[in-house]
Amino acid sequence: MTRCDSCGQGGAVLVSRPGSPEHLCGACESRAQIEERAAADLRAQLAHVLRAWAARWSADLTPASVSAARDTALRGEADQFTA
Ligand SMILES: [Zn+2]
């Protein structure tokens, strides 16, 4: 019996997900699908804000520095909601 890559329960099936395929049980597959929808929703909500922010700072920073500042800021903000 194939074990779930996420929780270890038996009866997992191979699921093709962005990145790499995984063996997931039904509960973990449902959770993963909800996480993917939540991530897509967040990306959609942030897209216009991030474009405007990047346009503002690209005059003063290289593209790599803009990306580094963005990643640092988003990581710090995300940490406040996951602690
Ligand atoms: Zn599982």
**Tens digit of each residue's pLDDT, the chain (83 residues):** 899 999 999 999 999 877 788 999 999 999 999 999 999 999 999 999 999 999 999 999 999 999 999 999 888 887 787 65
Is 8 inside any structural domain? Answer: no
What's the predicted TM-score (pTM) here?
A: 0.68
Tell me if 2 is assigned to some domain. no
Residue 21's pLDDT is 87
What's the confidence (pLDDT) of residue 83?
Answer: 54
How much distance in Å is there from the Cα of 15 to the middle of ligand 1? 12
Per-residue confidence (pLDDT) for residue 16, from 0 to 100: 87
- In a domain? residue 7: no
Residue 13, beta-bridge partner list: 24
Residue 1 resides in a domain? no
- How many Cα atoms within 13 Å fall on the side-chain side of residue 76? 6
Confirm whether 5 is domain-assigned. Answer: no
Query: What integer pLDDT is reported at residue 19 of this predicted model?
Result: 75
8 CA to centre of ligand 1 in angstroms: 6
Q: Is the dihedral of CA 62, 68, 72, 74 positive or negative?
A: positive
Least Cα distance to 25 among 41, 42, 13, 38 occurs for: 13
3 belongs to a structural domain:
no
How many domains does the chain divide into? 1
SS3 3: strand
Distance 29 CA to ligand 1 centre (A): 7
Range of the domain at 61: 13-82
7 CA distance to ligand 1 centroid (A)? 4
Residue 6 lies in a domain: no
